[in-house]
Amino acid sequence: MKIDYNILWIEDQESWYDTTLELFKETLEEEGFELKSERKDNIQQVRELIDKDGLKKFDMLLVDFNLRASDSGDEIIKLIRNNNIYTDVLFYSINVENIRDSISKHGLEGVYTADRKDIETKFNAVFLTTIKKIQEVNSIRGLIMGETSELDVEIENLFFALIELNVENEKRKIENIFRNDYKEIAKNTLSSCRAKRDCHTSDYKQYFSLSDSFRKYDILKEILKLKSFDGFDLKTFKQYGKEVIGIRNKFAHAKAEEKDGKMILRGQFNAEGFEFDEVKCIEIRKNLIEHKNNINKLKSILIAQE
């Protein structure tokens, strides 16, 4: 599981779906996850998804047992059972006893049921059950290390895009950002720069690829100061080093320990002691979501300017 929590929602009442989805999103945000929902309104669309990848990307299935089309709840249950799908399933209906009868008849195990009017309460309970394992400290370590590594890739992609966008109009300013680095790098790894008086686009890319995560972030931050982008929050990005790279470095040096009957992650990095409990990990996940969304906004802006 990742910070993105993916659900497949089989529901044909679009307005009810939209309203209820917003309530579910609030629940996940409180736990430091981001809800991604894909809606289908008939059984044929679900068959196509099963044929494609067996619904492997979804963390939960939400199924309206009484679609207004000809599809019956029984057919949906048989489809799930016959395709050996083990993702958690929450069926709901205005008549929940019909669901339970069908589940019993077809021998479908490991599913949840809810009255339609109680769907929010039941969804919250099922969601919290599905993330129990991910809440364990060692699982959290893997999740956060994976998410921050993906953001590293995004930082590099943004750098290349911004260089192409700015290099002609802001060449002198970009040279100044790199100038001190080139003096040092020329002595060490980038021998091709030794005889060059000016910085060129290809040199930027070479140097950037050889830099560590903090230096890549610092370079990108300086380049982003050259031009404003509506919708992108530079103030938030200025916390990226502390809230993303710094956190990842700490997690890499953390050890699981028991404290007051609960497992925490504790360690020391750069002579600074730290510990992460479940509450702190929720805060970290929320910060990662904020930074990921901010970066995605900038990506969309740059794509629009190509």
> Domain containing 58 — which CATH number?
3.40.50.2300
Instruction: Supply the pTM of this predicted model.
Output: 0.79
Looking at the structure, tell me whether residues 168 and 124 fall in a common domain: no
pLDDT for residue 196: 43
Q: What is the DSSP letter of 95?
A: S
Looking at the structure, tell me whether residues 143 and 50 fall in a common domain: no
Mean pLDDT, residues 269-285: 86
Looking at the structure, tell me whether residues 202 and 266 fall in a common domain: yes
Looking at the structure, tell me whether residues 81 and 31 fall in a common domain: yes
Looking at the structure, tell me whether residues 163 and 98 fall in a common domain: no
User: pLDDT-derived band of residue 191, with 50, 70 and 90 as boundaries?
Assistant: very low
Domain boundary among 130, 150, 176: 130
Residue 199 in tokens:
């910085």
Looking at the structure, tell me whether residues 287 and 175 fall in a common domain: yes
Domain boundary among 113, 130, 147: 130
Exposed e or buried b per residue across 198-225, where buried means at least 16 C-beta atoms within 10 angstroms of its C-beta: ebeeebbeebbeebebeebbebbbebbe
pLDDT for residue 119: 93
Q: State the average pLDDT for the chain.
A: 83
Instruction: Please state, as a whole number, how many other Cβ atoms lie within 10 Å of the Cβ of residue 72.
Output: 15
Mean pLDDT, residues 4-31: 93
pLDDT for residue 100: 85
Residue 83 in tokens:
């395709």
Looking at the structure, tell me whether residues 16 and 45 fall in a common domain: yes
255: Cβ contacts below 8 Å, ≥ 6 apart: 265, 266, 267
Q: Is the pLDDT of residue 253 over 80?
A: yes
Residues 30-70: pLDDT tens digits?
Answer: 999 999 999 998 888 999 999 988 898 899 999 998 876 65
Looking at the structure, tell me whether residues 241 and 257 fall in a common domain: yes
Cα 125 to Cα 131, 132, 173, 210, 213: the distances in Å are 10, 11, 54, 47, 39
Q: Is the pLDDT of residue 173 over 70?
A: yes
Q: 164 lies in which domain range?
A: 137-305
Residue count (the chain): 306
Q: Is the pLDDT of residue 239 over 90?
A: yes
Looking at the structure, tell me whether residues 172 and 64 fall in a common domain: no
Q: Which of 43-57, 85-99, 136-150, 284-298 has the lowest mean pLDDT?
A: 136-150
pLDDT for residue 190: 40
Q: Is the pLDDT of residue 73 over 80?
A: no
Token pair 């019993």 in the structure block, residue:
104
Number of domains into which the chain is organized: 2
Looking at the structure, tell me whether residues 175 and 49 fall in a common domain: no
303: enclosing H helix or E strand: helix 278-305
